[in-house]
Structure 1
Amino acid sequence: MTMQEKFAEKIKNVCEKYKDKTFITYMKEDDSEENWTYKDFWKQTNERVLAYKNSPIRKGNRIFVMAPLSPYVYAAVTALAVFGAVSVIINPELPEEELDFFVQKSEIRGIVCDAEIYRNYAHKWEKEYPVFDIKTSSLFINRTYPWSPSEDQDLDVLTILYSSGTTSEPKGVMITYEAQMKSVELLLRAFGTNDIRYLLVFPMFHVSGLSTFFALFLGGAQIGLLENANSVRLMQGFQKYKPNAFGMVPKVYETIQKRIMDSIKGKGSLEKIIQFCGWIKKKRNLNLGKVFLKKILAQVFGGNMKYLCVGGGKCSKEVSEFFQNMGYYWMNTYASTEMNLPMITTTVKDRFPSDSVGKITTFPEISVRIQNPDANGIGEVQIKTPCHMKGYFRDEKATEEAYEEGYFKTGDLGYCDSEGYLYITGRSKESIHLRNGEKISPEQMENLYAGYLPENAVAACVGVPIVDAGYDEVVFFVEKSSVKDTGLLKEKIKERSKELGGDYRIDEVRFVEKIPLSSIGKVQRYKLREQQSKVEKKKIKKEKKQGVFEEVKAILQSLGIREEIEKESILENDLGIDSLNLFELCVEIEKHFGVDLTNCISAQLTIEQLCEMVDGNRENSPNTISYDVEQYPMKRRMWD
Structure 2
Amino acid sequence: MFVKDFAKTAIIYNNEEISYKKLIVEITRYSELYTIDKGAMVGIFAENRPEWIYAFFSVWYNGGTNVAIDFMASPEEISYIIDDCTPQLIFTSAENKPALTNAISLSKHKPKILVFEEMVFSDVIKKEEVKNDDNDVAVIIYTSGTTGNPKGVMLTHKNLLTNIVGINALNIMNSADIFAVILPFHHIYPLTGTVLFPFWLGVTIVIVEKLSSDVILSTFQKYKMTILFGIPRLYNLFHKAIMDKINSKGITRLFFALCKLIRNKKFSRIIFGKVHKLFGGKIRYFLTGGSKVKDQVMEDFGVLGFSMTEGYGLSETSPLNTANNTHSVFRKGSIGKPLCNVEVKIVDDEIVVKGDHVMVGYYNKQTETEAVIKDGWFYTGDEGYIDNDGYIFITGRKKELLVLENGKKVNPEEIENKIMELNPDLIKEIGVFAKDDKIFALILPNIDELKKMNIVNIFETMKWQVLDQYNKMARDFKKIFNFKIVTDELPKTRIGKLKRFAFSQIFTQDEKKEVKHEIDLDFEEYSLIKNYLAHAVKKEVYPESHIELDLGLDSIEKVEFISFLEHSFGITVTTEDIASHPLVKEIALYMQEKKTKIEAEETGWDKILENIETVKIKSKPFFSFLTKFFLWLPFKVYYRLKVKGLNTMPKPPYIITPNHQSFVDAFLINAGLKNRFLKDTFFLANEKHFKHKVGRFITNSSNIITVNINTNLKMSLQKIALVLKNNKNVVIFPEGARTRDGNLMEFKKTFAILAKVLNVP
Same fold at TM > 0.5:
yes
Q: Secondary structure, in 3 states, of the residue corresponding to 1:228?
A: coil
The answer as to whether partners of 1:198 and 1:223 remain within 8 angstroms in 2 is yes
Residue correspondence of structure 1 range 164-563 to structure 2 within 5 A: 169-190=149-170, 191-212=172-193, 213-281=195-263, 287-299=266-278, 301-350=279-328, 352-360=330-338, 363-372=339-348, 379-430=349-400, 464-465=412-413, 531-532=439-440, 546=454, 562-563=486-487
1:400 Cα deviation after fit: 1.0
Residues 1:248 and 1:192: Cα distance change in structure 2 (over 3 Å): closer
Question: Paired residue for 1:24, among 11, 26, 40?
Answer: 11
The answer as to whether partners of 1:187 and 1:341 remain within 8 angstroms in 2 is no
The answer as to whether partners of 1:238 and 1:302 remain within 8 angstroms in 2 is yes
1:552 Cα deviation after fit: 14
How many angstroms apart in 2 are the aligned matches of 1:199 and 1:225?
A: 6
Corresponding residue of 2:494: none
The answer as to whether partners of 1:48 and 1:79 remain within 8 angstroms in 2 is yes
1:337 Cα deviation after fit: 0.3
Q: Secondary structure, in 3 states, of the residue corresponding to 1:116?
A: coil
How many angstroms apart in 2 are the aligned matches of 1:217 and 1:471?
A: 42
The answer as to whether partners of 2:45 and 2:71 remain within 8 angstroms in 1 is yes
Letter in 2 for 1:187: I
Letter in 2 for 1:314: K
Question: Paired residue for 2:141, among 158, 161, 166?
Answer: 161
Residues 1:608 and 1:386: Cα distance change in structure 2 (over 3 Å): farther
The answer as to whether partners of 2:163 and 2:318 remain within 8 angstroms in 1 is yes
The answer as to whether partners of 2:42 and 2:64 remain within 8 angstroms in 1 is yes
Residues 1:124 and 1:255: Cα distance change in structure 2 (over 3 Å): closer
The answer as to whether partners of 1:330 and 1:353 remain within 8 angstroms in 2 is no
How many angstroms apart in 2 are the aligned matches of 1:158 and 1:309?
A: 25
1:607 Cα deviation after fit: 5.8
| Cα distance per residue 1:545-603 (max 9 Å; x no partner) | 959x9899999x99x961369764499xx99xxxxxxxxxxxxxxxxx9xxxxxxxxxx
1:404 Cα deviation after fit: 3.3
How many angstroms apart in 1 are the aligned matches of 2:367 and 2:38?
A: 27
How many angstroms apart in 1 are the aligned matches of 2:308 and 2:459?
A: 34
1:386 Cα deviation after fit: 1.7
How many angstroms apart in 2 are the aligned matches of 1:612 and 1:207?
A: 49
1:427 Cα deviation after fit: 0.9
The answer as to whether partners of 2:396 and 2:411 remain within 8 angstroms in 1 is no
Letter in 2 for 1:465: E
Residues 1:551 and 1:76: Cα distance change in structure 2 (over 3 Å): same
1:83 aligns with 2:31: no
Q: Secondary structure, in 3 states, of the residue corresponding to 1:51?
A: coil
The answer as to whether partners of 1:253 and 1:319 remain within 8 angstroms in 2 is yes
The answer as to whether partners of 1:315 and 1:468 remain within 8 angstroms in 2 is no
Q: Secondary structure, in 3 states, of the residue corresponding to 1:531?
A: strand
How many angstroms apart in 2 are the aligned matches of 1:243 and 1:348?
A: 19
Letter in 2 for 1:338: E
Residues 1:138 and 1:317: Cα distance change in structure 2 (over 3 Å): same
| Greater RCO, CA 8 A, separation 6+ | 1
Letter in 2 for 1:216: P
Q: Secondary structure, in 3 states, of the residue corresponding to 1:350?
A: coil
1:242 Cα deviation after fit: 2.2
Residue correspondence of structure 1 range 131-150 to structure 2 within 5 A: 131-135=113-117, 137-138=119-120
The answer as to whether partners of 1:315 and 1:469 remain within 8 angstroms in 2 is no
Residue correspondence of structure 1 range 97-136 to structure 2 within 5 A: 97-122=76-101, 125=104, 128-135=110-117
Residues 1:182 and 1:136: Cα distance change in structure 2 (over 3 Å): farther
Q: Point out where structure 1 has 5 or more consecutive residues left out of the alignment.
A: 1-7, 28-32, 140-152, 373-378, 433-461, 473-505, 511-524, 576-592, 594-605, 618-640
Residues 1:120 and 1:266: Cα distance change in structure 2 (over 3 Å): closer
How many angstroms apart in 2 are the aligned matches of 1:387 and 1:470?
A: 35
How many angstroms apart in 1 are the aligned matches of 2:210 and 2:42?
A: 24
| Cα distance per residue 1:477-533 (max 9 Å; x no partner) | xxxxxxxxxxxxxxxxxxxxxxxxxxxxx999x9xxxxxxxxxxxxxx767686126
Residues 1:421 and 1:297: Cα distance change in structure 2 (over 3 Å): same
Q: Secondary structure, in 3 states, of the residue corresponding to 2:381?
A: strand
1:406 Cα deviation after fit: 2.4
1:35 Cα deviation after fit: 1.4
Residues 1:39 and 1:91: Cα distance change in structure 2 (over 3 Å): same
The answer as to whether partners of 1:166 and 1:429 remain within 8 angstroms in 2 is no
Q: Secondary structure, in 3 states, of the residue corresponding to 1:115?
A: coil
How many angstroms apart in 1 are the aligned matches of 2:224 and 2:587?
A: 34
Q: Secondary structure, in 3 states, of the residue corresponding to 2:32?
A: helix
1:466 Cα deviation after fit: 7.6
How many angstroms apart in 2 are the aligned matches of 1:371 and 1:93?
A: 36
Q: Secondary structure, in 3 states, of the residue corresponding to 1:532?
A: strand
Question: Paired residue for 1:71, among 50, 75, 83?
Answer: 50
How many angstroms apart in 2 are the aligned matches of 1:130 and 1:265?
A: 56
How many angstroms apart in 2 are the aligned matches of 1:552 and 1:242?
A: 45
Letter in 2 for 1:253: Y
The answer as to whether partners of 2:401 and 2:412 remain within 8 angstroms in 1 is no
1:121 Cα deviation after fit: 2.9
The answer as to whether partners of 2:79 and 2:104 remain within 8 angstroms in 1 is no
Residues 1:266 and 1:91: Cα distance change in structure 2 (over 3 Å): closer
How many angstroms apart in 2 are the aligned matches of 1:71 and 1:382?
A: 36
How many angstroms apart in 2 are the aligned matches of 1:214 and 1:289?
A: 33
How many angstroms apart in 2 are the aligned matches of 1:550 and 1:322?
A: 33
How many angstroms apart in 1 are the aligned matches of 2:241 and 2:56?
A: 37
Which has the higher Rg, Structure 1 or Structure 2? Answer: 2
1:356 Cα deviation after fit: 2.1
How many angstroms apart in 2 are the aligned matches of 1:39 and 1:570?
A: 54
Q: Secondary structure, in 3 states, of the residue corresponding to 1:45?
A: helix
Letter in 1 for 2:318: N
| Cα distance per residue 1:359-379 (max 9 Å; x no partner) | 24xx3321111222xxxxxx2
The answer as to whether partners of 1:200 and 1:246 remain within 8 angstroms in 2 is yes
Q: Secondary structure, in 3 states, of the residue corresponding to 2:440?
A: helix
Q: How many residues align?
A: 459
Residues 1:59 and 1:267: Cα distance change in structure 2 (over 3 Å): same
How many angstroms apart in 2 are the aligned matches of 1:471 and 1:226?
A: 34
Q: Point out where structure 2 has 5 or more consecutive residues left out of the alignment.
A: 122-132, 403-409, 421-428, 467-483, 488-510, 513-540, 551-575, 577-581, 594-761
How many angstroms apart in 2 are the aligned matches of 1:277 and 1:222?
A: 33
The answer as to whether partners of 2:259 and 2:304 remain within 8 angstroms in 1 is yes
Question: Paired residue for 2:73, among 72, 89, 94?
Answer: 94
The answer as to whether partners of 1:23 and 1:222 remain within 8 angstroms in 2 is yes
| Cα distance per residue 1:315-368 (max 9 Å; x no partner) | 1111110111122221101010001221101253136543322124xx332111
